[in-house]
């Protein structure tokens, strides 16, 4: 069983969670000011690293909160999970 630690509920099985993609991608405050290239970069481009990756998870069958996880994409080892900064409620 793959366990993920929810910062609110504790360790739970992976089946309770849903994945939310790369963390830390904020919607531009003024989208009209962006060029097509910049907008496409925000919309589509992701790091997809081999190794440490900061990502968003939602505890869908639990407290239903979004939170962040730092996971190694090779070993799947989760080094830490963290609450999102105030004001950032996830996607």
Partner 1 sequence: MPDPILHSHGLEPFLSSISSATDCAEQPGIRIGIEPGLCHINLRGDPGSVEFIDAVNSVLQQDLPLAANTMTTGNNRIYWLGPNEWLIISSLEKDKDRVTNLRESVRGQHACVTDLSGGQLALRINGPHARDVLAKGCTLDFHPSVFHSGHCAQSGLAKTGVLIGLLDDGSEFEIVVRRSFVDYLAHWLQHAAEEFGVEFSVI
Q: Closer to partner 1 at the Cβ: 61 or 73?
A: 61
Under a CB-based contact definition with an 8 Å cutoff, are residues 18 and 57 in contact? yes
Rounded to whole angstroms, how far apart are CA atoms 15 and 17?
A: 5
Q: Closer to partner 1 at the Cβ: 23 or 67?
A: 67
Subset of residues 61 to 90 that bind partner 1, contact rule: CB under 8 A: 61-65
Rounded to whole angstroms, how far apart are CA atoms 22 and 26?
A: 11
Under a CB-based contact definition with an 8 Å cutoff, are residues 70 and 84 in contact? no
Query: Does position 18 bind partner 1 by CB under 8 A?
Result: no
Q: Closer to partner 1 at the Cβ: 27 or 64?
A: 64
Size of the site for partner 1 (CB under 8 A): 13
């Amino acid at each position: 069983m793959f366990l993920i630690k929810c910062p609110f509920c504790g360790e739970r099985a992976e089946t309770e969670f849903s994945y939310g993609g790369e963390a830390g991608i904020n919607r531009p405050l003024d989208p009209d000011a962006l060029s097509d290239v910049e907008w496409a970069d925000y919309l589509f481009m992701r790091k997809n690293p081999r190794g440490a990756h900061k990502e968003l998870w939602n505890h869908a069958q639990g407290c239903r909160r979004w939170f962040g996880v730092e996971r190694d994409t090779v070993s799947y080892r989760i080094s830490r999970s963290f609450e999102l900064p105030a004001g950032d409620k996830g996607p």
